[in-house]
Amino acid sequence: MKQESVLEVKNLEFSFHTYGGVVKAVRDVSFDLREGEILGIVGESGCGKSVTAQCILKLNPEPPGFFGEHSSICFRGEELVSKTEKEMQAVRGAEIGFIFQDPMTSLNPTMKIGRQIEEVLKGRKGYSKKEVREKVLKILEMVGISDAKKRYKQYPYELSGGMKQRVMIAIALVGNPGIVIADEPTTSLDVTIEASILDLLKELQKTLHTAIIFITHDLGVIAKLCDRVMVMYGGKIVERGTVEEIYYDTKHPYTAGLMNSIARLDLEKSVKLKPIEGTPPDLFAPPEGCPFAARCEYAMNICYRKMPPEFGEKDKHRCMCWLQDEKAPKIRLKTQLSGKKGGEEHV
C-alpha cells in the first residue's frame, strides 16, 4: 500500500541572476515525499540538490533568485511557492525543519544553546516560558546530549563538533515538524561521529514518524539511511528508485560513475577507483541534450541533440537516459556491486 504524500514538488525551476547571466540551477524537477520515509538526494557539488532543498522553505534569496512560472511545491495541500516571507515564517521550524551543512557557522556564537532552540517556539500560542524550557531540555536529551541543563546555558564554542550537530538536529525537531530537511549534516564530522549522527536520525525518524529529505554526495551514507533515492546531475533528476534498485540495478551511467568512485573496505587492493572524467555542464547555457553526454562513454548522437525523457513506470525505478530506449544498443553498466545480487551484471 502506497503511503500518503506529505510533499509534492512539480516542475520546479529555480534560477539566479548574476553578472555573468542567468544560472539555471534547478531545471524541471518533480518528486514526492511520503509519510515517515527517508528520501535521499545524491549528486556531486553543483548538481542542484541543496538549491532544491532550500526552495522548499524559500531560503534562496529572491532576488537574485527566482522560481520558474510553473513551479509548484505543495505541502499537505498548501502551495508554498506563492507564500509571502511572513507566511513562510509560520512554516519554517513548525511544519518543516532544516538541518544545515555546517554547525560551526550555522549556530549564533553570541547566543546560548537553549535560547537558540527556543527561538523556534517563540510567538507560538499555548506555550508558557516554563513549558518552552521543559520542551527544549527534553529535545536535548532526545538527541543524545548529556547533562541537558548544563548544555542549555552554554555557548556553541563550549561544545564539540558532534554536539553542535546534535543541537542543529534539536533545533530542526523541537517544533515537531512533519518534514525535516538534512542538507549534508555530517560533512564536517569525522566518520565515528558521522555514524552516530546517522543512527540518531534513523532512530528519531522511527520514534517521531517524521519524513526526512537527506542530501549528500556520499552513496555510502544513502545506503545506510534512506528508503528511496534520487540522483541529480546538471539541475535534473537523472535516476530515481529504491536504495536496492539504485545499487543493484543501476541504469544511468552517471549513477554507475558515482558507484565506482566509492572507496570500499571489501574491495581487493588491485581494484582501482574510477573517477568520472570531465566537468559538470555550464548552467549559464545548459546543453540541449542530456547534461551528462559530454562525460558519458556511452553517449550517442541523440544524447547531444535531445533531452531524454524519463523511462520507466510511475512510482517505480525510473531513469533519464537514452540507453533505456528500446532502439538503443543494450549496454551493461558495470559497478562495484555487479554480480553481488542474482549473479548478473546490471543492465
pLDDT at residue 173, rounded to an integer:
85
Q: Which tens digits make up the pLDDT trace of 156-175? A: 999 888 888 889 888 888 88
Q: Among residues 122, 163, 119, which one has the least CA distance to residue 141? A: 163
272 pLDDT more than 80: no
- How confident is residue 5, by pLDDT bands cut at 50, 70 and 90? confident
pLDDT at residue 17, rounded to an integer:
94
pLDDT at residue 88, rounded to an integer:
92
User: Which residues sit opposite 96 in a β-bridge?
Assistant: 92, 179
Q: Which tens digits make up the pLDDT trace of 203-221? A: 888 888 889 999 988 887 8
**Rounded mean pLDDT, 186-202:** 77
Q: Which three cell numbers stand for residue 34?
A: 511520503
340 pLDDT more than 60: no
More confident residue, 273 or 92: 92
pLDDT at residue 101, rounded to an integer:
79
Please give the span between the terminal C-alpha atoms of the chain, in angstroms, as a whole number: 28
Alpha-carbon gap, residue 255 to 43, rounded angstroms: 9
Burial code (b: 16+ CB inside 10 Å, e: under 16) for 17-29 equals eeeeeebbbbbbb
pLDDT at residue 336, rounded to an integer:
62
pLDDT at residue 207, rounded to an integer:
83
SS3 164: helix
pLDDT at residue 124, rounded to an integer:
66
Domains and CATH numbers, the chain: 5-226 (3.40.50.300), 249-324 (no CATH)
SS3 212: strand
342 pLDDT more than 50: no
Q: 181 — phi, psi (to 5°)?
A: -105, 120
Alpha-carbon gap, residue 314 to 32, rounded angstroms: 12
- How confident is residue 305, by pLDDT bands cut at 50, 70 and 90? very high
Alpha-carbon gap, residue 288 to 307, rounded angstroms: 6
**Rounded mean pLDDT, 144-166:** 89
pLDDT at residue 345, rounded to an integer:
40
Report the relative pairing of strands 38-42 and 228-233 from DSSP bridges.
parallel
Q: Which three cell numbers stand for residue 263?
A: 572507496
Burial code (b: 16+ CB inside 10 Å, e: under 16) for 311-342 equals bbeeeebbbbbbbbeeebeeeebebbbbeeee
**Rounded mean pLDDT, 22-35:** 93
267 pLDDT more than 80: no
User: Which residues sit opposite 16 in a β-bridge?
Assistant: 23, 65
Using CA atoms of 335, 340, 343, 347 in order, give the dihedral in degrees to the nearest 10. Answer: -30
Average pLDDT, the chain: 86
**Rounded mean pLDDT, 170-188:** 85
Helices (H), the chain: 49-56, 85-89, 103-106, 113-118, 129-142, 148-152, 161-173, 191-208, 219-225, 243-248, 253-260, 301-305
Q: Which three cell numbers stand for residue 215?
A: 542530501
Alpha-carbon gap, residue 266 to 275, rounded angstroms: 19
Helix or strand (DSSP H, E) at 229 = strand 228-233
Q: In the Cβ-directed half-sphere of 334, how many Cα atoms lie within 13 Å?
A: 3
Query: Among residues of the chain, what percentage have pLDDT more than 90?
Result: 44
Q: Which tens digits make up the pLDDT trace of 280-290? A: 898 999 999 99
